[in-house]
Homo-oligomer: A and B are copies of this chain.
Amino acid sequence: MLFRQLFDAETSTYTYLLADETTREAALIDPVLEQVERDSKLLEELGLKLVLVLETHVHADHVTGAGMLRERTGATVAASPRGAPCVNRKVAHGDVLRLGRLEVKVLETPGHTDDSLSYLCEGRLFTGDTLLIRATGRTDFQNGDAGQLYDSITGRLFTLPDDTVVYPGHDYAGHALSTIGEEKRHNPRLAGRTREDFVTFMKSRQLPPPKKLDVAVPANRACGVIAPQPQA
């Protein structure tokens, strides 16, 4: 399996490239619009064909490159049916997506948003904004729900083997990855906290809305490809 982690410094967003080294079929998880050139170039240099774009959820903090990549390559864009209408493959909990001989398993992990998915491929877990390193996603917009997030993390992610590698959708402290075992032991929002504690903590936070919320959500519902406005 060929694997790359990519970073958008402007929004601290991680994008992931997965590929079958034999068939050269590739997937990108959560590509960023401003990085489509970088990602396209890397795919080309590595001799890969993009066949799949996986979205963990409708993002509020950056605009997706999914639509532009689909236009360029014909790749399928997969996400939750609760998310962006523009998606052409709606996936549900337990679904398995094939990428050459690799299997990508879909886990529904709502709570940060109601459409949040995680993806599991060969011991690597892509958690979007559900589980971050020593943190979690927010639950105060886009139908977020703290109780549901706690259940998704503790019931669905923390039941995976401890050595499962956690690759988040963002990191703001310069960490690239974690493991399920590490997050169980050291995530300060979860370790030794009950569901009630977690919900109380998440409700007590007073955060400004994400800077790009009003732009990013509608753009992402269209896979990042907004129809040009009619000229006056």
B contact residues around A46 at 8 Å (CB): 182
Q: Given the complex, which residues of B lie within 8 Å of A182, measured CB to CB?
A: 45-46
Determine if A200 is an interface residue (Cβ-Cβ < 8 Å).
Answer: no
Contact across chains for A9 and B6 when beta carbons are under 8 A apart: no
Q: Is A232 interfacial (CB-CB < 8 Å)?
A: no
A8 to B175, CA, bound (A): 9
Do B176 and A6 touch (CB < 8 A)?
yes
Q: Mark A41-58, 1 if CB is under 8 A from B, else 0.
A: 010011000000000000
Among candidates B6, B7, B38, B174, residue contacting A38 with C-beta atoms closer than 8 Å: B174
Asked if A40 lies at the interface with its beta carbon under 8 angstroms from chain B, I say no
Identical subunits present: 2
Quick check: B45 and A186 within 8 Å, CB to CB?
yes
How far, in whole Å, are A173 and B182 apart by their CA atoms in the complex? 29
Contact A6 B45 (CB under 8 A): no
Given A5-B176, A6-B176, A9-B9, 16 more A-B residue pairs with CB atoms under 8 Å apart are A4-B175, A4-B176, A6-B175, A7-B7, A7-B174, A7-B176, A8-B174, A9-B12, A35-B174, A38-B173, A38-B174, A38-B175, A42-B175, A45-B185, A45-B186, A46-B182
- How many Å from the CB of A135 to the closest CB on chain B? 13
**A binding-site residues for B, Cβ under 8 Å:** 4-9, 12, 15, 35, 38, 42, 45-46, 173-177, 182, 185-186
In chain B, what residue has the closest Cβ to A173?
A: B38
Instruction: Report the minimum CB–CB distance from A184 to chain B (whole Å).
Output: 12
Cα distance A176–B16 in the bound complex, in angstroms: 11
A174 (CB) vs chain B CBs: closest residue = B7
Cα of A28 to Cα of B41 in the assembled complex, Å: 32
What are 25 pairs between A and B in contact, CB < 8 Å?
Answer: A4-B175, A4-B176, A4-B177, A5-B176, A6-B174, A6-B175, A6-B176, A7-B7, A7-B174, A7-B176, A8-B174, A9-B9, A9-B12, A9-B174, A15-B174, A35-B174, A38-B173, A38-B174, A38-B175, A42-B175, A45-B182, A45-B185, A45-B186, A46-B182, A176-B176
Query: Cβ of A42: which chain B residues have Cβ within 8 Å of it?
Result: 175
